A and B are shown apart, each in its own frame.
Chain A
Amino acid sequence: MVDVLALGQIRKSYNVGTPVETEVLHGIDLTLAAGEFVALMGPSGSGKSTLLNIIGLLDRPTSGTVSINGQSTAGLSESGLTALRGHTIGFVFQYHYLISAFTAAENVMMPMLVSHGRRTDAMQDVAYGLLADVELTRWRDNRATNMSGGQQQRVAIARALAMNPSLVLADEPTGNLDSVSADGVFDLMRRINKERSTTFLIVTHNLELARRCDRILDVIDGRISGQEAGRLSAPA
């Protein structure tokens, strides 16, 4: 089976060609299989976010290869990357980043809207289905700003799933929530992972939550220094 994500010798430098050139990622190799639920840990400044941006096709590596579902991204143009990103990768950020001018359902539809160009009735059905999945049916026509932090993050997760992506990248999705909401959001992602076999890569500082993942990747000083299996959950 093709890996959802394959990174080969990823290096990333900033200020290339200047005396202050800094390499923040030093040759990272990583593969994520379909249906994996992986935690990415590491201290601040270790290169986690840079790595996540490269995996999310928001940034390009200085050298090395990125393949999504077996497709190399090396030759893709800016618009090619945008299209691939839109169709295969879902994002959940620490702050929900819902667009406040739209309702919960419209926010969930947004990836489909920008991909398709205009709204269709089918999109609304998909969005309502996803909001039902994250138990927000009652709130689906609320403005994004009229919801609690936990609810907003659930909407963000539903939005990340709108295009039925093979990979969801979550950057500290529970970092901004109280422990009860955080548990709820985590469990939700875990459930979706099980039900849909969607691959998750979750950046977190919460060791407790990380241990409930299939694998934990430790990024230290731009290298993946160790991998350990999550304890509380058997690998899929």
Chain B
Amino acid sequence: MRNWAPIEWTIALRFLTEGIMQTVFILTGIAMGVGVIVFMSAMLAGLQANFIKRVLTSQAHIQIIPPDEIARPLRSGTDIVEGAIVQRPSQRILSIDQWQTIRTAMKARPDVVTVSPTATGSALAIRGDASRSITLTGMEPELYFQIVRVPDYIVVGTSKLESDDILIGTELAKDLGATIGDKLNLSVSSGATRVLTITGIFDLGNKSANERNTFVALRTAQSLLDLIGGVTTLDVTVTDIYAAESIAQDISAALPIQADSWIKTNAQFFTAVSAQQSSNTLIRSFVGLSVAFGIAAVLVVSVIQRSKDIGILRAMGARRGQVLGVFLIQGGVLGLIGSLIGSSLGAGALGLWHGTARQADGTELFPLILEPSLFVIAAAVATLTGVAAGMAPALRAARLDPVEAIRG
């Protein structure tokens, strides 16, 4: 025996296929709406992932630095109030006090992945008559390269660092006319100098970074900056990048150091992302609403067109609930089919856009992220929206007085 669908489904589907023009038009409308939503969501997710990747492959999630040095006025006595003017002291390059202990404490945390000590300061790179001021970052390559992927950015040479080696950016190499194997004379404000050999040239994708950033072994920087055994920064990566700020606050509260998360140091970036997200949400909501109103409008017209059919069905013993079901099902089916077409359209358009839109350097503008969950969510939300949009017309149909409906 053939297993037939409930009668509400049969009637709903017949109504939809009989008014095929109407159905096609509203499906097109829904599909376009859902397509826009899917396209925007996937593109935004891709762009964000790309931004975050770019930001977080060139810096640590959390930087631990010594606390600022502050001056305190001396008190003349317990009851004497003084309007002291306190001048902010200049910040010397200081090592983090007891940094090995702090590193051990950090490593013990389950939410911390990598801890990399660095000694950072400014220096002058001199080659012949040319000199440029640079930021000297001394680090342990095996740890630091897990955080900032310098080896990925090397264009010439290698990222291997011995105690007399240095990695420099493309701009600095150009300015100094230097290349692999050439010697650079480094000089710091204290007067210490050292001659280092260029083993690699990197391109971080940013002109000023390529001009200023240089990398040397930790010991080399420590000796140049007069920080023997000391480090200025502990770079930390964490498991959940969005929890970085709370972890940083936790660390600052527990230890006598200052911890800055990438969220705090890139506040502007974060604001931009959240502004983009809220404007995107707004657009998506309005597109969703217009889809819902489109479905409702078509079903309202359908109820008017079908009022005689509804009256007859009611006269033949159809319950109000069955009539309600017929129109809710129509709303849901329109939403579901429209969203399936729309998701395919959105994904197709995204693929096309991804193929044509390129960055200045020819790499992709954003990674193509098409999560299956996006489509499932889009289909579910569109179906529910369809059912919700069908509610008003369906109630109207269910409340039709059969006598009035048949008389017209």
- Which residues of A come within 8 Å of B, CB atoms? 53, 56, 58-59, 78-79, 82-83, 85-87, 91, 93, 97, 99-102, 110-111, 113-121, 159, 163
Segment at the interface with A among B24-32, B55-63, B279-287, B318-326? B318-326
Please state if A115 and B5 are interface contacts (CB–CB under 8 Å): no
Q: How far is the CA of A222 from the CA of B309 in the complex (A)?
A: 29
Contact check, A86 vs B316: say whether CB atoms are below 8 A apart: yes
Whether A102 pairs with B14 at a CB distance below 8 angstroms is yes
Q: Does B403 contact A (CB under 8 A)?
A: yes
Rounded to whole angstroms, the CA-CA distance of A100 and B403 in the bound complex is 19
Q: Are the C-beta atoms of A120 and B7 separated by less than 8 Å?
A: no
Interface residues of B in 363-386 (CB under 8 A from A): none
| Shortest Cβ distance from residue A155 to the other chain B in the assembled complex, whole angstroms | 12
Q: Is the CB of A110 within 8 A of B316?
A: yes
Between A and B, 12 residue pairs with Cβ closer than 8 Å are A59-B403, A79-B319, A86-B317, A87-B317, A97-B308, A99-B313, A102-B14, A116-B7, A118-B4, A118-B7, A119-B4, A120-B1
Residues of A within 8 A of B316 (CB): 86, 91, 110-111, 114, 159
Q: Does B15 contact A (CB under 8 A)?
A: yes
Give every chain A residue within 8 A of B313 (Cβ-Cβ).
99, 110, 114
Contact A82-B7, Cβ < 8 Å, known A58-B403, A97-B308, A99-B312: no
Within B358-408, the residues touching A (CB, 8 Å) are 402-403, 406
In B278-309, the 8 Å CB interface with A consists of: 308-309
- Distance of A3 Cα from B98 Cα, bound (Å): 105
CB pair A85 B1 closer than 8 Å:
no
Q: Tell whether, in the assembled complex, residue B320 and residue A78 are in contact, meaning their CB atoms are under 8 Å apart.
A: yes
Instruction: Let me know if B18 and A119 touch, CB within 8 A.
Output: no
In this complex, what residue of B is CB-closest to A87? B317
A58, B314: Cα distance in complex, Å? 9
Chain B residues near A78 (CB-CB < 8 A): 320
Q: Which residue of B lies closest to A163 (CB)?
A: B317
Total residue contacts A-B, CB cutoff 8 A:
75
Q: Nearest Cβ in chain A — how far from B408, in angstroms?
A: 9
Which partner residue on chain B sits nearest A169 by CB separation?
B315
Contacts of B322 in A (CB 8 A): 114
> Distance (Å) between the CB of A83 and the closest chain B CB?
7
Q: Which residue of B lies closest to A115 (CB)?
A: B317
B6 contacts the other chain (CB 8 A): yes
- Additional 15 contacts, C-beta under 8 A, given A117-B7, A118-B6: A56-B315, A79-B320, A82-B317, A85-B317, A86-B317, A97-B309, A99-B312, A110-B313, A111-B317, A113-B7, A114-B317, A115-B317, A116-B7, A118-B4, A120-B1
Set of chain B residues within 8 Å of A102, measured between Cβ atoms: 14
CA–CA, A53 and B15, complex, Å: 27
Judge whether B10 is part of the interface by a CB distance below 8 angstroms: yes
Q: Mark B5-25, 1 if CB is under 8 A from A, else 0.
A: 111001100110110000000
Beta-carbon contact of B317 and A101 below 8 Å:
no
Question: B75 an interface residue at 8 Å Cβ cutoff?
Answer: no
CB-based contact B406/A93 at 8 Å: yes
Chain A residue, CB-CB nearest to B402 = A58
What are the nearest 10 A-B pairs in CB distance? A86-B317, A119-B4, A101-B14, A114-B318, A101-B18, A111-B316, A113-B7, A97-B312, A99-B309, A58-B403
Contacts of A85 in B (CB 8 A): 315, 317
Consensus secondary structure, chain B interface: helix
Which of B4, B18, B309, B317 neighbours the largest number of chain A CB atoms within 10 Å of its CB? Answer: B317
How far apart sit A107 and B62, CA to CA, in the bound complex (Å)? Answer: 72
Q: Whole-angstrom distance from the CB of B305 to the nearest CB of chain A?
A: 11
CB atoms of A120 and B317 under 8 A apart: no
Residues of A within 8 A of B312 (CB): 91, 93, 97, 99
Which residues of B lie under 8 Å from residue A86 when comparing CB positions? 316-318
Per the bound structure, the CA–CA distance linking A119 and B10 in Å amounts to 9
| Chain A residue contacts of B309, Cβ below 8 A | 97, 99-101
- Bound: A226/B14 CA distance, A: 47
Q: How far is the CA of A163 from the CA of B317 in the complex (A)?
A: 10
Q: Closest residue to A52 on the B side, CB-wise? A: B403
Task: List A contacts of B2 (CB < 8 A).
Answer: 121
- Chain B 130-162, CB-CB to A under 8 Å as 1, else 0, gives 000000000000000000000000000000000
- Residues in chain B near residue A113, CB distance under 8 A: 7, 10
CA distance A121 to B4 in the complex (A): 9
**What residues of A have a CB within 8 angstroms of the CB of B5 in the complex?**
118
- Cβ-defined contact, B403 with A120, below 8 A: no
Chain A residues within 8 Å of B406, by CB: 93, 97
Nearest-Cβ distance from residue A57 to partner chain B, whole angstroms: 9
Q: Nearest Cβ in chain A — how far from B260, in angstroms?
A: 66
For residue B6, which residues in chain A have a CB less than 8 angstroms away from its CB?
A: 117-118
Docked-complex contact B4 and A114, CB < 8 angstroms: no
Measured CB to CB, the nearest residue on chain B to A116 is B7
Shortest CB distance A167–B (Å): 13
Bound CA span A159–B313, Å: 11
Give the shortest distance, in Å, between B404 (CB) and chain A (any CB). 10
CA distance A56 to B403 in the complex (A): 10
Residues of A within 8 A of B17 (CB): 101
Given contacts A117-B7, A120-B1, are A100 and B18 in contact (CB under 8 A)? yes
A91 to B10 Cα, complex, angstroms: 22
Least Cβ–Cβ distance between B378 and chain A, in angstroms: 30
- CB-CB under 8 A from A97, the residues of chain B are 308-309, 311-312, 406
Among B18, B308, B315, B318, point to the contact of A91 (Cβ < 8 A).
B315
Q: Which of B6, B314, B319, B320 has the most CB of A within 10 A?
A: B319
- Residues in B neighbouring A116, C-beta threshold 8 A: 7
* Inter-chain contacts of B14 with A (CB < 8 A): 101-102
* Chain B 67-79 interface 0/1 with A at a Cβ cutoff of 8 Å (1 = within): 0000000000000
- Measured CB to CB, the closest approach of chain A to B158, in angstroms, equals 74
- State the CA gap A91–B402 with chains docked (Å): 12
- CB nearest to B313 among chain A residues: A114
Looking at the assembled complex, report how far the CB atom of B398 sits from the nearest CB atom of chain A, in whole angstroms.
Answer: 11
